[in-house]
Amino acid sequence: MNPAIEHMKSFLVPGKRAHLIGIGGVSMRPLGLVLKGMGLEISGSDMNSSVSTQDLIRAGIPVFIGHRAENVSGADCVIRTAAVHNDNPEIQAARAAGIPVFERAQAWGVIMQNYPNAVCFSGTHGKTTSTSMFTQISMNAQRDPTVMIGGYLPVLNSGHRVGKGDLIIMESCEYCNSFLNFFPTVAVIGNIEADHLDFFKDLADVQKSFRRFAGLVPEHGHIVVNGDDRNTLDAVQGMDFITFGFSEGCNYRAVNASSDFRSFDIEKNGKFLVHADMGVVGKHNIYNALSAATAADLIGIAPEYIASGLHDFHGAGRRMEFKGTFNGADLYDDYAHHPGELQALLTAVKSLGYKRIICAFQPHTYTRTAALFDDFVNVLKQVDIAVLAEIYAARESNTIGVSSWDLVQQVPNAIYCHSLPNVTDCLRRLAQPGDLLLTVGAGDIYKAGEALVKLEF
């Protein structure tokens, strides 16, 4: 048992007051709502007023705009996001007053222990889509789940849900070993690649983290892994696990797939389980669907709900999301920011029959760009025209000296844009009828595409 989580359990009980710093964030907002539903008194703070903070206020949670020491007065504990550092005035005030400070992931870990079924989706890429697919299936099956997704899902009209059923669904991220605070009864690992190398030393270090995550599953639970992914199989070697994939021998196997990978059958241990007609395309989405279907079957969701859920799922926000048209070209936006994700995206769209693929890509973080530079070059060479926005810094400073300009030098037909307005203007000049325009990356590249679509009117 994680000592911090064990300590935290005595604070997350009815009648206690928890103060959440950064409460308007994508996973802090639902955390506040869940804790309030458990009978706690909740307050929070955020740097800016937003739709999220206004929703929290309407739900009876006071939200302070701006971080000030007096905001934590009277709190029994403080919960913070990873973006809130020790020099934050509320953190400093809490520690000076002897108020314990916990991490967001630790709080979710405590909450998770209240659910008989805790299904956690992890992997270097695809976890948002897999979590979303499983959520759609669970909603169709009327399981009334509590949900935390790192993206927008139309059926929820948000990225989270506070339910009253016996099921909690969590997108589970390996960065900073965050998911090691969780208590999964079903732990799904979609794939493992070298990523987040500003935290992990190398691929072996990443695999070690995922193995520890799988080891959190109790004896009555299930470890579910991609049986076609060598890195994942190596990580869980010697453990008791269930596999999904295309290969013979996988416990849950995709067969009879259509050319665009939208339609396929799922076999369970060699016997037909269900036919799937998905609302999305691409081989990578069959893997996502298999992981969701496997988890659903393991917790007793009937095959007809697996089929209807996959049929009704048409993508999460920023996952091959249609944004509009410009000059006869279709514009889509996608969150892909790792070479493996970008490869999966491009493989999927090549089957759609567009004349040209024009990809506006914004690399995410300097360390990832430098560590995976050659992989990015090889993938970007596959498009007709690559438009490279400058690297999105996120949490980093450019101590490496790497730039998107370095990628442009290695990729034929690549164009460098130093700002998002330049990206919009470049796409405006390039777009022709029959083209597919992609804005891709985990930063704010989507703004360039949205600005382009507005020019059409």
- Residue 373: CATH number of its domain: 3.90.190.20
Residues 277 and 355 in one domain: no
Residues 370 and 295 in one domain: no
Residues 160 and 301 in one domain: yes
Residues 69 and 139 in one domain: no
Residues 175 and 301 in one domain: yes
Q: What pLDDT score was predicted for residue 457?
A: 53
For a pLDDT cut of 90, what percent of the chain falls above it?
Answer: 82
For residue 111, pLDDT beyond 80:
yes
* Domain C-terminal end among 46, 75, 108: 108
**At 170, is the pLDDT very low, low, confident or very high (cuts 50, 70, 90)?**
very high
**At 1, is the pLDDT very low, low, confident or very high (cuts 50, 70, 90)?**
low
* Domain C-terminal end among 59, 82, 108: 108
Enclosing domain of residue 9: 3-108
Residue of 4, 42, 48, 41 lying closest to 22 (CA atoms): 48
Residues 213 and 332 in one domain: no
* Domain count within the chain: 3
Q: Which residues fall within 8 angstroms of residue 145, CB to CB, at 6 or more apart?
A: 135, 138, 139, 161, 163, 165, 167, 168, 169
For residue 208, pLDDT beyond 70:
yes
For residue 317, pLDDT beyond 80:
no
**At 154, is the pLDDT very low, low, confident or very high (cuts 50, 70, 90)?**
confident
* Domain C-terminal end among 108, 143, 172: 108
Contact 340, 226 (CB under 8 A): no
Mean pLDDT score, 310-328: 88
Look up the CATH number of the domain holding residue 49.
Answer: 3.40.50.720
Any idea which residue has 């909740």 for tokens?
A: 42
Q: What pLDDT score was predicted for residue 456?
A: 67
pLDDT tens profile 26-45: 789 889 998 998 899 999 99
> How far from the centroid of its chain's Cα atoms is residue 129's Cα?
7
**At 151, is the pLDDT very low, low, confident or very high (cuts 50, 70, 90)?**
confident
Residues 170 and 242 in one domain: yes
Residues 269 and 168 in one domain: yes
Cα–Cα distance between 266 and 276 in angstroms, integer?
Answer: 7
Residues 152 and 284 in one domain: yes
Residues 181 and 223 in one domain: yes
For residue 86, pLDDT beyond 90:
yes
Q: What pLDDT score was predicted for residue 42?
A: 98
For residue 181, pLDDT beyond 70:
yes
For residue 281, pLDDT beyond 90:
no
Residues 233 and 269 in one domain: yes
Q: What pLDDT score was predicted for residue 82?
A: 77
For residue 157, pLDDT beyond 90:
no
Residues marked active site are found at 127-128, 171
Cα–Cα distance between 115 and 402 in angstroms, integer?
Answer: 45
For residue 318, pLDDT beyond 80:
no
**At 331, is the pLDDT very low, low, confident or very high (cuts 50, 70, 90)?**
very high
Residues 326 and 422 in one domain: yes
For residue 146, pLDDT beyond 90:
yes
Q: What average pLDDT does the structure give for the chain?
A: 94
Give the chain as a 3 state SS string.
Answer: CCHHHHHHCCCCCCCCEEEEECCCCCCHHHHHHHHHHCCCEEEEEECCCCHHHHHHHHCCCCEEECCCHHHHCCCCEEEECCCCCCCCHHHHHHHHCCCCEEEHHHHHHHHHCCCCEEEEEECCCCHHHHHHHHHHHHHHCCCCCEEEEEEEECCCCEEEECCCCCEEEEECCCHHHHHHHCCCCEEEECCCCCCCCCCCCCHHHHHHHHHHHHCCCCCCCEEEEECCCHHHHHHCCCCCCEEEECCCCCCEEEECCCCCCCEEEEEECCEEEEEEECCCCCHHHHHHHHHHHHHHHHCCCCHHHHHHHHHHCCCCCCCCEEEEEECCEEEEEECCCCHHHHHHHHHHHHHHCCCEEEEEECCECHHHHHHCHHHHHHHHCCCCEEEEECCECCCCCCCCCCCHHHHHCCCCCEEEECCHHHHHHHHHHHCCCCEEEEEECCCCCHHHHHHHHHCCC
